Amino acid sequence: MPEVGIKVAVVGGGSTYTPELVDSMCDHEDRMVIDDLVLLDPDEQRRSAVGGLSERILRRRGWAGTLSSTDDPHAALEGADFVVVQLRIGGQAARHGDETLPVGYGCLGQETTGAGGLAKALRTVPTVLELAEETAVRGNPGAWFVDFTNPVGIVTQALLDDGHRAVGLCNVAIWAQRRLGHYLGVDPDGVEVEHVGLNHLTWIRSARTAGSDVDRLPELFDRCGPELELESGVPLAVLRLQEALPSYYVHYYYQHDAEVAQQSVPGHRSRAEVVAELEATLLEQYRDPELVTKPEGLSYRGGAFYSLAAVRLMASLHADTGDVQVVDMRNDGAVPGLPDHAVVETRAVVDASGAHPLPQRPLPPDKLGLVQHAKAYEQLAVRAARSGSRDDVVRALLANPLVGQYPLAADLADALLAANRHYLPRFFPD
């Protein structure tokens, strides 16, 4: 019997990531045949440019399904089997605020962690929850909600707290796996990484190659120390001290003051400014009717291997594969020291019923303490995004490991709310 095709709706389909996503979909038709792909985005110009290139890539790859784009969420979500969320409320302009406003208060400027990450969560969580509620009503029975929108840990926590059929996803683990495979000179898919923590607060505690029980991290620290130091942002001495390779985002905690000092230098450009320029160039290239492949410049956009991770996740959920992937899901006892309902990011068996976390070794006190601290903040961030209460925003900032002082938390709360007023109707109902 031929494979029954499925419908995938991409929320934020006008993203410059989308051509890479659709290209990856063609690589996994052995496990997941998509016959209806819808790009949902409010920006008509983006829909036209991104949708046009996506269509050309798909036809060149021999894809026989239907691609459409729309600004109507009801039409996009109707009958969907998978909803992939990669939206950005407020675009790069709002991100620029996340990355610059906190710096004036002596705090890290970043779009997923610290005060900027909270601002993004306040803008994002209500919209994503509304989309999930619509998916539950309009999507096919058993539809999956796959979130790649940052801050992934907070957004996924909100989704699962409300009982949605959702899995969170980040590209950090698959990127690290590929870099380690490169340094080891082996097929990266054969590298098993012991990845554990919260989204953007994770460590790789061991790396083993296929058929071996030998941890290769100590060897990599000796042989590729400068490269790993550069890519992680953490001094090699700390990598050796912790006997682990942290994700790049961990250096914002370990070297907060140095990072803020760098961001405070006159003329410092935010990542949002760089990405905005890059996206303008990419969108112009996408409009070229002769372009039928991903342009080389897309590799500089960031989010490397996100598309591969997203499509692999959907394919495993659809085909009931039961393979191991790193995703964001309920802890359910996998990471000792955290409650079952807490969303963690670690290895899981992925099958048709969802992602099932694999038991992890206990974290040592230095890592566990930071993870517990950050998880408390994440739970308060969800509460603030849902309640529309200034007091809840202050509470979340007080619990945030990168803020944690008063009256700083109160001053930052007022500044963030004022800067994002247009995107926060729950806080400003009038």
Is the separation of the CB atoms in 19 and 91 below 8 Å? no
Residue 182 to residues 50, 61, 185, 217, 220, Cα–Cα distance (Å): 31, 28, 5, 13, 11
Give me the residues paired with residue 46 across strands: none
Note if 249 is an active site residue: yes
Give me the residues paired with residue 350 across strands: 323, 355
Query: For the CA atoms of 401, 402, 406, 409, what is the dihedral angle to 10 degrees?
Result: -110
DSSP labels for 220-280? HHHHHHHHHHHHHSS-HHHHHHHTSEE-GGGHHHHTHHHHHHHHTSTTPPPHHHHHHHHHH
Distance CA 304, CA 327 (A): 16
Is the separation of the CB atoms in 10 and 38 below 8 Å? yes
Q: How many residues in the chain?
A: 430
Return the structure tokens found at 327: 């995703």
Biggest CA–CA distance in the chain, Å, is 65
Q: What is the SS3 assignment for 197?
A: strand
- DSSP conformation class of 301: S
Dihedral pair phi/psi, residue 325, rounded to 5°: -140, 160
Q: What is the SS3 assignment for 164?
A: coil
Distance CA 367, CA 369 (A): 5
Residue 7 to residues 137, 237, 314, Cα–Cα distance (Å): 15, 49, 12
User: Among 17, 105, 249, 252, which one carries the catalytic annotation?
Assistant: 249
- Catalytic site positions: 249
